[in-house]
Amino acid sequence: MRKIPRPFKMPWGNGMVVKEAFITSQYHEPTVQLLQFDNGDRAIRFCSYNKGRFSRVPLMIDEKDLRKLGSAIKKEKEIFKFISRLS
């Protein structure tokens, strides 16, 4: 488990990772994070970790793991509420 909350830095702003939903797959850890910027804005980041390290590649997830990630997201109510705005 990674510590929550924890800081992040991006060229356009800094803040904290306040929630995280992830699964462990065969190749990496597909992850969805709820980010809280210092100015109060919130965003969702789709990312992955590989051997405990943040991976700077696009998130790819296969069909069987997509359902597992969906279940993990449902357990994190704030992330689920944020993502439900997609529909």
* Rounded Cα–Cα distance for residues 67 and 49 (Å): 18
Spell out the residues 6+ positions from residue 57 whose beta carbon is closer than 8 angstroms to its own.
48
Q: Are residues 31 and 22 in contact, defined by beta-carbon separation less than 8 angstroms?
A: yes
User: DSSP class of residue 80?
Assistant: H
Domain residue spans in the chain? 6-78
pTM over 0.85: yes
Tell me the per-residue pLDDT of 22-81, one tens digit each, with 9 for 90 and over. 999 999 999 999 999 999 999 999 999 999 999 999 999 999 999 999 999 999 999 999
